[in-house]
Amino acid sequence: MRSNNDIQALNKELRQAVADIKSAILQGQYEAAKGMNRIQLAVYFGIGKYVSGHSRKDAWGTGALETISSQLRRELPGLRGYSATALRNMRKFYENWMMLDANSKDASEKLGNSAIANVEIDSFNSSDTSDDNSAIAIAELETQPQIDIYHTLQIPNIKDFPVKDFFRLPFTHHVRIIENCKDLTERYYFIHRAVEENIPSDSLPRFIKTNPYDSQQQMPSNFSRTIPDAAMMRKAVTMFKDSYFLDFVNAEEIGLRDGIGA
C-alpha cells in the first residue's frame, strides 16, 4: 500500500505529465496553424490579384462579386469565407502588397528567388504524360489554372521586411493593418508587434490608434521566439481563431460536393 508521500509524489508527476503533454499539443497546433496560414495567404493573394485585374478594368459590371460568391456557394456546398466582402478584402490584400507579386514590374526589382514561405508544390505536373493523346494529358492542358497560388506571392528581398511574421499573421490581422496603416514601415512594425504579442484582430485598430509606432520610431527588440508557458501558447493558438482561417480549413458538408458535375 502506498504511503501518503508516495501518492503525493505520484500526483505531482501526473500533473507535470499533463502540463508537458498539453504544451506539446498546443505547440503542435500553433505550428500547424502557421503552416496552413502561409498557404491561405498565398491563395487569397492569388484570388485578390485575379479579382483586381478583372474588376478594376470594368471587365465586370456592378454586382459581379455578389454573383461570383453566390455561384461558388452553389457549386461548393459548405463553402464559407468567400462572400463578396471577403473577395473585396482579398483584392485589398493584393493591391496593398502588390510589390510581392512575382510577376509585377515592381516586384521584379525587389524580390529574391524564394517562393512563398518555402512552399514547394508541383501539383500541376503530371507524373505520367507519355501518351500525348491520353484523356488525362488533354484535360491537364485544358485546365491550367488562371490563378497561380504557388508562384505569385514571393518573399521580398527588402531590408527590414518581416518575412516570418508576415506569413504567421492571420488574414484578418493583415486587413486591419492595411486599413489603419498607410506607411509601409509602419505596417512592418505592427505586423511584428501583432505576432510577437499575439494581439487579437479586433484589438488591433485600437492598438494602432495609441500610436506606439511614432513614439518608438523603431522595430521592437527581438523577443524570445520560444513561448514560455502553456498560457502564452494558448494565446498564440487562439490568435488563429480568425473567421477567415476557420472558414478556409472548413470541411463541413464537403461530401456533398462529390456529386457535382456527375
Is the pLDDT score of 116 beyond 60? Answer: no
User: Percent of the chain having pLDDT more than 90?
Assistant: 34
* SS3 label, residue 153: strand
Q: In terms of C-beta density within 10 A (0-12 exposed, 13-18 middle, 19 or more buried), how is residue 82 classed?
A: buried
- Helix 4-55 and helix 230-238: axis angle, to 10°? 20
Q: What is the pLDDT of residues 199-247, one digit of tens each?
A: 999 999 999 999 888 776 555 444 445 555 667 777 777 777 777 887 8
Q: What is the pLDDT of residues 127-152, one digit of tens each?
A: 333 333 333 333 333 445 688 888 88
Mean pLDDT taken over the chain: 76
Is the pLDDT score of 178 beyond 80? Answer: yes
Q: What is the pLDDT of residues 79-97, one digit of tens each?
A: 888 999 999 999 999 999 9
Report d(CA 45, CA 54) in Å as an integer: 14
Global pTM value:
0.73
User: Rounded mean pLDDT of 95-107?
Assistant: 82
How far apart, in Å, do the first and last CA atoms of the chain sit? 67
Q: What is the pLDDT of residues 53-85, one digit of tens each?
A: 888 876 687 789 999 999 998 888 888 889 999
Q: How many CB atoms lie within 10 A of CB 111?
A: 18
Is the pLDDT score of 113 beyond 70? Answer: no
Domain residue spans of the chain? 4-259
Of residues 1 and 220, more confidently modeled? 1
Sign of the Cα torsion 85, 107, 153, 61 reads positive
